[in-house]
Amino acid sequence: MTKLSVNINKIATLRNSRGGNNPDLVKVALDCERFGAQGITVHPRPDERHIRYQDTFDLKAVIATEFNIEGNCKEQKFIDLVLANKPAQVTLVPDVLGQITSNHGWDTIKEKDYLKEMVSVFQTAGIRVSIFVDPVLEMVEGALATGTDRIELYTEAYASNYHNDKERAIAPYITAAKKANELGLGLNAGHDLDLDNLQYFAQNIPNLLEVSIGHALISNALYFGLEKTIQLYLKQLA
């Protein structure tokens, strides 16, 4: 079964909007685990507009499932944060300063030498590494040369086109996934996956190990409640 890692950035956004500690980010993370999530994801950014750097330390101290830290490894503070916490997985995402949300994968060919260096830094610390990539064969093949353990397919294009033509929308992802399987790369996915499009994606992507879902899941929880929402997402992955 594909694991569900809940991205709790939006919980932090809500908390930060009023100051204080309501909602309690750590409690929400523990509740997500209690409700069945197999992992917790955070994506700290330099402006700390959602996840604060201290949150990462607080979460690492209590999380019992898989902890995944996403972010841009071109920021030294991010590298230091990951090495200090040693999560189960670090996902390298090529964000730029001030970016609202992730919107593209790495160019694993042009950035090969840099990524190879970063992958080695984290792996030496005992951290599994995943690289965020678009569903392009050359980028998947390029990822292999970096030494990464996994890739995470950036799924916004799939989600955006799912309702228009789901078979066409998923086609490049199937091709990319098969190439990753062939090369021995572990496979994750994330971005704009939701209750409408998740099941079809999971059923058609071979050996999908993990999905990271935040915005849609937290939005659904406003209507269904967090426990029921997590159960609904897990059902899509069963």
- Residue by residue, DSSP assigns 125-179 as TT-EEEEEE-S-HHHHHHHHHHT-SEEEEE-HHHHHHTTT-HHHHHHHHHHHHHH
Instruction: Give the E-state strand segments of the chain in sequence order.
Output: 3-7, 39-42, 66-71, 89-92, 128-133, 150-154, 186-190, 210-213
Strand 150-154 and strand 89-92: the pairing is unpaired
Give the contacts of 85 (CB within 8 A, at least 6 positions apart).
56, 57, 60, 67, 69
Q: Quick one: which of 177, 142, 139, 135 has its CA closest to 159?
A: 135
Catalytic site residue from 33, 66, 70, 210? 70
Query: For residue 118, what are the CA distances in angstroms to 42, 44, 75, 124, 137?
Result: 19, 18, 11, 10, 22
The yes-or-no answer on residue 70 being catalytic is yes
Catalytic site residue from 33, 50, 152, 191? 191
Local structure of residue 101 (DSSP, 8 states): S
Catalytic site residue from 33, 43, 152, 210? 43
CA–CA gap between residue 36 and residue 179 (Å, rounded): 31
The yes-or-no answer on residue 50 being catalytic is no
Tokens of 87: 């999560």
Asked if 92 contacts 106 with a C-beta cutoff of 8 angstroms, the reply is yes
The yes-or-no answer on residue 163 being catalytic is no
Q: Quick one: which of 147, 153, 137, 146 has its CA closest to 108?
A: 146
Task: Tell me the catalytic residues.
Answer: 43, 70, 191
